[in-house]
Amino acid sequence: MTADRYPTSTPEERDEAVEQATLVLQRGELVVLPTDTVYGIAADAFDPDAVADLLEAKGRGRAMPPPVLVSAPGTLDALATQVPGWVRSLVEAFWPGPLTVVCRQQSSLQWDLGDTRGTVAVRMPDHEVTLAVLERTGPLAVSSANLTGRPAATDADQAMAMLGDAVSVVVDAGTSPGGEASTIVDATGAQGRVLRHGALSLDQLNEVLEPLGATLTDEA
């Protein structure tokens, strides 16, 4: 199976791409979506089989669960618990955008993202096409569109070359405007820390936090 590719150059093309991606995701299939950082491979976060297919497509095991993308900051509280106040300040400053926060997940969630150890990584991307899909589907499990060990795709051609046989739809929105992965911040411990350096620097994050008397440590 080779994925169907949908451009987004015109409003009509964009609407068709959003509709087709939404239908495919609701059927439990995989989609490649553009984001403000890099392209991502997406599955319904509440469909365990789809999430398992996502991990298999990337050549990744359950020990590396995918992050979850959301369409609004308020969804964070539906997915996570014990969210520190400083995380909310970062979310206010950088969502939508290239910030992923790792929090304790709500125990009531009926999903299986892999071996999460009771945590969930959440991001709100700054990309109108993917936000439009998320508004229709709800939270999506999304990992970078690449085979494990290879660079993340920054355009649809790269994504098709690596994952075109594993996904049903590729939404083509041109070259990713960011091209660099999101910065991941861990908020599950007593001290916030950077797990992965990305589009946001430690200085940018701490500039928001220092007036609150908080700082992140650099353990990436």
Which CATH number belongs to the domain containing residue 12 in this structure? 3.90.870.10
| Residue 19 pLDDT class (50, 70, 90 cuts) | very high
pLDDT in tens, 113-147: 998 889 999 999 999 999 999 999 999 999 999 99
Reduced to 3 states (helix: H, G, I; strand: E, B; else coil), residue 43 is strand
The answer on pLDDT for 1 being more than 70 is no
User: How far apart are the C-alpha atoms of 173 and 114, rounded to whole Å?
Assistant: 29
Tokens of 80: 């996570």
Of the candidates 61, 33, 57, 59, the residue with the CA atom closest to the CA atom of residue 165: 57
pLDDT of residue 212: 87
- pLDDT attached to residue 183: 96
**Residue of 105, 103, 110, 115 whose CA lies nearest to 66:** 115
Question: What does the DSSP 8-state code read for residue 198?
Answer: -
Residue 218 has pLDDT above 90, yes or no: no
Residue ranges making up the domain that contains 131: 4-218
Q: How many residues does the chain have?
A: 220
pTM across the whole model: 0.94
Identity (one letter) of the amino acid at 119?
T
User: Does the pLDDT value for residue 220 go beyond 60?
Assistant: no
Q: What are the φ and ψ backbone dihedral angles of 140, each rounded to 5 degrees?
A: -120, 140
Q: How far apart are CA 34 and CA 94, in angstroms?
A: 18
Shortest CA distance to 42 belongs to which of 128, 120, 126, 113? 113
How many other CB atoms are there within 10 angstroms of residue 163's CB atom?
Answer: 22
Cα–Cα dist 129/156, whole Å = 14
Q: Which of 7-16, 87-96, 118-127, 187-196 has the lowest mean pLDDT?
A: 187-196
Work out the pLDDT band at 219, boundaries 50, 70, 90: confident
Best CA proximity match to 66, nearest among 81, 86, 44: 44
Average per-residue pLDDT for the chain? 94
Alpha-carbon gap, residue 116 to 51, rounded angstroms: 13
Stretch 191-211: mean pLDDT: 94
Beta pairing partners, 183: 99
Count of domains for the chain: 1
CB 92 within 8 Å of CB 73: yes
